[in-house]
Amino acid sequence: MVETRYVEIPSPVGPLDLTRPHFVGICGAGMSALALLLADRGAQVSGSDVKTGEAAAGLETAGCRVRTGHDAANIAGASVVVWSSVIDAANPEIVAARAAGVPVAHRSHVLAQLVAGAERSVVVSGTHGKSTATMMLAAAVGHLSPSWAAGAAPVAGVNGHAGSGLLIAEGDESDRSVALYRPEVAVVLNADDDHPETFAGTADVVGTLTDFALGARTLVASADDAGAREVTGRVRGHGGGTRVVTFGESAEADVQLLSAVPTAVGGSAVTVLDPRGVQVSWTVRVPGRAAVVASLAAYAAGRVLGEAPQVLAAGLSGFAGVRRRMQLLGAVEGVRVVDSFAHHPAAITADIAAARELTGAGGRVLVAFEPCGSTRVRVLGARMGAALAGADEVVLLPVRDAVPTEAGAVNGQGIEHAAVAAGVGFHAADGLVQAADTLGALARPGDVVVTMGVGEVAGLGAMFLEPSARPLTAV
């Protein structure tokens, strides 16, 4: 999850009437997932957003009514008005709902109710990799026709769907709301220093994820990540009834990674030792170690649900990946273009390493990075720059603020200084057109171009692949 505003999320008040929900900011990743799931269940879903476009088209295809812009009239007939942590309390639709006595609920209240009402449930948490692991698990147990709600959609699908009584959901930690969920299975991929607008450091993140894990019957956690191990230790030391199952390369892991060999087409051949002592193999079709780890988490959670090893392996092998998570967009003149959602130093490092697996002989990794959130950049900027130095050339776009920050906006100077000090080739760009032109001048056959970040940079790959589609630069 990207930078959000710090908010105090009120406790849920009674069961919500989800027959006619209205989502304020419906095109957001977490909001659209819930809207799609509820629409699949037969709810009359409406919503509004400042920017609509492709996301709105998908929602409308699913039967949701989407309005551009926020207006008090949009909530007419709503049984509940749903907001997320990026929505200001002064939003006219929130104000109108409160004045009219229409229940107002945070996004997490809706998901918590869905989790509580599901026959079986898995919630995937962690500071990186949640969307990929969530959708991998949904694919691994696809034979069960699960319901799901994730922060990103699979390459050929949607991020929210209503199926059977098994619900697989992504739990967002950025605003601490993950602690509201009480699933059958809680997955903790990692716990890192992230979301400085909300947390005081890694220990604070660990505390929130521990609260979440203690609410589950079973915790599935990484045996390799230091933060996840701390969560596991606290859960075991609590003396409650939460069972713990671990995954990872560690010899102590219940699902132990034996090998992950990069494949020629971009991905990995994975072999694990199952808790029952048998070796199980599958193919991950997304490059990089992070995708391998996500598949381990999905397999471990699937085994906790009681599914057979070979069935899970087949489902994982058929999974094509998630949009904007090291997604191969195409190639031009021998240059591959990959789109990455990475915005935290750890994720940046991981995705640059993954891109190395795709380079040809003598090929380089070129990264165009758009930082998001002045608070995040102020605290983590130097680490971002050091992580970007894993590339050969970096094109830095201006800092994008998803929400206003009390301390004011910052530029990318801290990122630049750290990257340059580490010896990477550095180039500043004032926007997508200049970034595409710079990448075009730098790239050569065998290189991999990575468009990285959470904002407008998502459209940069298409501009690089189709130069004729770029807007004309003003003279």
**Residue 300 maps to a domain:** yes
Q: Name residue 219's beta-bridge partners.
A: 186, 244
Alpha carbon distance 79, 271 (integer Å): 49
Bridging pattern class, strands 243-248 and 147-149:
unpaired
Residue 301 falls within a domain, yes or no? yes
Q: Are 189 and 266 within one domain? A: yes
pLDDT, tens digit, 9 for 90 and up, residues 377-392: 998 999 999 999 999 9
> From residue 444, how far is each of 359, 367, 369, 458 by CA, in Å?
11, 14, 19, 22
Residue ranges of the chain with pLDDT lower than 70? 1-6, 403-408, 468-475
User: What is the extent of the structural domain holding 267?
Assistant: 118-317
Helix 130-140 / helix 289-304 crossing angle, nearest 10 deg: 50
Are residue 283 and residue 369 in the same domain, yes or no? no
**CATH number reported for the structural domain that contains residue 223 in this entry:** 3.40.1190.10
Does any domain span residue 112?
Answer: no
Kindly state whether residues 183 and 282 are assigned to the same domain. yes
CA dist 389 and 399 (Å) reads 18
Which of 43, 75, 106 is the last residue before a domain boundary? 106
Please, what is the average pLDDT of the chain? 93
Does 8 fall in a domain? no
Claim to verify: residue 169 and residue 98 sit in the same structural domain: no
For residue 412, the domain's CATH number is 3.90.190.20
| 168 and 185, same domain (yes or no) | yes
- HEC-encoded secondary structure of 397-439: CCCECCCCCCCCCCCCHHHHHHHHHCCCEEEECCCHHHHHHHH
Residues 180 and 263 in one domain: yes
Same-domain check for residues 170 and 240: yes
Cα 8 to chain centroid, rounded: 22
* Same structural domain, 159 and 266: yes
* CA 399 vs CA 64, 438, 451, 453: distances in Å: 33, 18, 15, 10
**Residue 238: count of CB within 10 angstroms of its CB:** 12
Query: Residue 54: which CATH number?
Result: 3.40.50.720
Q: In what order do the strands lie in the sheet with 268-273?
A: 160-161, 147-149, 166-170, 120-125, 185-188, 218-222, 243-248, 255-262, 268-273, 279-284
For residues 244 and 349, membership in a common domain is answered with: no
Q: What is the pLDDT of residue 475?
A: 29
User: Within this chain, do residues 295 and 365 fall inside the same structural domain, yes or no?
Assistant: no
Residue 10 lies in a domain: no
> What pLDDT was estimated at residue 52?
81
The answer to pTM > 0.75 is yes
Which of 22-52 are b and which e, b meaning 16 or more Cβ less than 10 Å from the residue's Cβ?
bbbbbbbbbbbbbbbbbbbeebbbbbbbeeb
Element (DSSP H or E) covering residue 214: helix 202-214
Residues 208 and 266 both lie in one domain: yes
The answer as to whether 7 is a domain residue is: no
Q: What is the pLDDT of residue 330?
A: 95
Query: Domain check: are 86 and 131 in the same one?
Result: no
> What are 94-152's pLDDT values in tens digits?
999 999 999 999 999 999 999 999 999 999 999 999 999 999 999 999 999 999 999 99
pLDDT at 317: 98
Say if 6 falls within a structural domain.
no
Instruction: Indicate the DSSP class of residue 379.
Output: H
Task: For residue 431, tell me if it sits in a domain.
Answer: yes
As a whole number of angstroms, the distance between CA 50 and CA 314 comes to 41
Report the domain count for the chain.
3
Domain final position from 283, 317, 351: 317
**Would you state the pLDDT for residue 474?**
38
Indicate the residue among 284, 317, 350 that finishes a domain. 317
